[in-house]
């Protein structure tokens, strides 16, 4: 175990981070198991090494109901993520992985897409509150891959990417999905749509529909994304929009 409150430990870790930055060329940090030490300590490391980007892994359990599924209200869960960023400093380059969005998406794509509209009409994850500080993802080396601790439904992974790559927040693509699953072209197409239309971490999200079999949302008035098996949505798509990407139960205009 590392005693992060030990001043010598802090000094040597800061020296190591600055060496990684100056000599090796790294310009961002990922704080593993960030709930294992205080945000005040993380702030020391960020302030004294000045990375251009930093992201924390704060993985805690969602609130679950008696049916074993996540409650609709996950405010306490995303509040914990927001609190960490607040304590580190909202103007700093600090962000957190949006585990709230990950957990809700996992269940939503299994025929419960209504979950993607919170009670306030916004996205139910951290991106609904502070998208500029939320790093969205479908799976990572812990949740998917060989560890398989909280995997996204494997046959619906592209619905997950259609969501995070069109929505506010900073999307993170999982190495396995991109290089090992044969999804490179599909993911590339979505990345291209995001880039071409300038969708960014603070883009404006308007949720048009959130039903069991259909989620439809417009981003910045430029991109529309559909998740779910419902096919006939033409009456909901404004004129002038053309399909730019599509796949199993998702489409982007």
Domain assignment present for residue 85? The answer is: yes
Cα distance between residue 180 and residue 172, in whole Å: 16
pLDDT at 2: 86
Domain assignment present for residue 110? The answer is: yes
Domain assignment present for residue 52? The answer is: no
Structural domain containing residue 150: 58-203
CATH number at residue 170: 3.20.20.80
The reply to whether the predicted model has a pTM over 0.75 is: yes
What is the pLDDT tens value at each position of the chain, 253 positions in all?
789 999 999 999 999 999 999 999 999 999 999 999 999 999 999 999 999 999 999 999 999 999 999 999 999 999 999 999 999 987 889 999 999 999 999 999 999 999 999 999 999 999 999 999 999 999 999 999 889 999 999 999 999 999 999 999 999 999 999 999 999 999 999 999 999 999 999 999 999 999 999 999 999 999 999 999 999 998 999 899 999 999 999 999 9
Given 57, 86, 92, 213, the catalytic residue = 57
181-185: long-range contacts, CB 8 A cutoff, minimum separation 24: 181/157, 183/157, 183/158
Domain assignment present for residue 242? The answer is: no
Tell me, yes or no, if 50 is annotated catalytic.
no
pLDDT at 234: 87
pLDDT at 1: 77
Domain assignment present for residue 211? The answer is: no
What size, in residues, is the chain?
A: 253
123-139 per-residue burial string, b: 16 or more CB within 10 A, e: under 16: bbbbbbbbbebbbbbbb
Q: How many domains does the chain have?
A: 1
Domain assignment present for residue 252? The answer is: no
pLDDT at 185: 98
Cα distance between residue 245 and residue 251, in whole Å: 6
Tell me, yes or no, if 110 is annotated catalytic.
no
Domain assignment present for residue 231? The answer is: no
Domain assignment present for residue 182? The answer is: yes
Given 12, 15, 27, 32, the catalytic residue = 32
36 and 61 Cβ atoms separated by less than 8 Å: no
């Amino acid at each position: 175990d590392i005693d992060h409150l030990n001043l010598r430990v802090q000094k040597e870790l800061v020296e190591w981070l600055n060496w990684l930055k100056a000599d090796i060329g790294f310009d961002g940090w990922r704080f593993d198991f960030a709930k294992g030490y205080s945000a005040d300590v993380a702030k020391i490391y960020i302030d004294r090494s000045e990375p251009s980007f930093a992201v924390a892994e704060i993985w805690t359990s969602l609130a679950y109901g008696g049916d074993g599924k996540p409650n609709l209200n996950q405010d306490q869960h995303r509040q914990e993520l927001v609190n960490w960023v607040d304590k580190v400093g909202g103007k700093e380059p600090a962000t957190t992985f949006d585990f709230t969005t990950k957990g809700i998406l996992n269940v939503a794509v299994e025929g419960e897409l209504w979950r993607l509209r919170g009670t306030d009409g916004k996205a139910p994850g951290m991106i609904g509150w502070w998208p500029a500080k939320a790093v969205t993802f479908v799976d990572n080396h812990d949740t998917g891959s060989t560890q398989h601790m909280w995997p996204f439904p494997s046959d619906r992974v592209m619905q997950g990417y259609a969501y995070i790559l069109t929505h506010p927040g900073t999307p993170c693509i999982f190495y396995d999905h991109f290089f090992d699953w044969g999804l490179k072209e599909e993911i590339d197409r979505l990345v291209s749509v995001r880039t071409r239309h300038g969708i960014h971490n603070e883009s404006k999200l308007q949720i048009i529909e959130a039903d069991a079999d259909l989620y439809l949302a417009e981003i910045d008035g430029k991109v529309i994304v559909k998740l779910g098996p419902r096919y006939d949505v033409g009456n909901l798509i404004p004129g002038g929009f053309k399909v730019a990407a599509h796949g199993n139960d998702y489409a982007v205009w």
